[in-house]
Amino acid sequence: MASVRGNSVYQGVYGALRTLLHLTAAVQFGYGIYYDYNYVQFPTSEPEMRIHHPWGGKFKYLTFLDAIIQALYYIVSLVNDFVGTNELTPKKPPAVRRFKDWLMATLAFPVAINVGVTFWTLYAIDRELVFPKVLDPVFPSWLNHVLHTNIVVFIVLELFISYRSYPKRSQGLAGLAIFMGAYLVWIHVVKHYSGVWVYPVLEVLQLPQRILFFAAVVGFTLSLYLLGEFLNNTVWAKEVKLAKRKSN
């Protein structure tokens, strides 16, 4: 009896901490989106406009789109905490739980890791390729870390505190590939109408180099899907085995 009561208390505290994490992340990324969209105004005079042309607004940046994905994921997670289920292997998971699991596996994890790793790698090589110093007066440091650092921190924490059932690998990879393909088309549309590449690094690459760069980015992102699946199956090995037995 004491063991059952102790386990119940543990589950209650664990669930409360998980919900607190989801709430903190949802508020943080939601406010980051709001602040970025309403208060961060890039310079529009020459030559700065040749770096950040206003055409397409904030929606041409993968960082901004990823922040929307992260905010959506944690809002869905909050809804699931209250009206869905966090049972490890429910027989009939509700729609909100199924969508939460799909969103984490297909977009939230791989895109967050892609944005964080790519941004800070290029920043370390030459920050002018990805975040020119001209932006320092208008783009606060705390927002930079919310959009490029905390996305990784929170999604890794989420990996360890919430089990999710991965979709079929072909379906998950297809969803991620469609998203990345659509984004590559979008930045070419922006280039066509504005005459400026979304990211300064693309300005210094010749066509063959850009093709290799795009292929590498897509390949890297798809590999991150596989990494997320592997980590999920490793961290939650017992639950994955149980889920497989239930499905057979």
Q: What sign does the dihedral 193-195-201-207 (CA atoms) show?
A: positive
| Distance, CA of 233 to chain centre | 20
Which 3 state secondary structure label does DSSP give 76? helix
The pLDDT of residue 50 is above 60: no
Contact between residue 234 and residue 84 where contact means Cβ atoms under 8 Å apart: no
Weakest-pLDDT range from 192-201, 204-213, 236-245: 236-245
Residue 103 binned pLDDT confidence (cut-offs 50, 70, 90): very high
Long-range contacts (CB closer than 8 Å, 24 or more residues apart) made by 117-122 = 117/152, 118/217, 118/220, 119/63, 119/148, 120/148, 120/149, 122/201
Over residues 63-95, the pLDDT tens digits come to 999 999 999 999 999 999 999 998 887 888 999
Over residues 7-26, the pLDDT tens digits come to 565 567 888 999 999 999 99
Buried residues in 141-162 as b, exposed as e (16+ CB within 10 A): eebbebbbebbbebbeebbeeb
Residue 148: which of 62, 219, 72, 59 has the closest Cα?
A: 62
The pLDDT of residue 171 is above 90: yes
Domain boundaries, the chain: 13-38+79-245
What's the confidence (pLDDT) of residue 131?
84
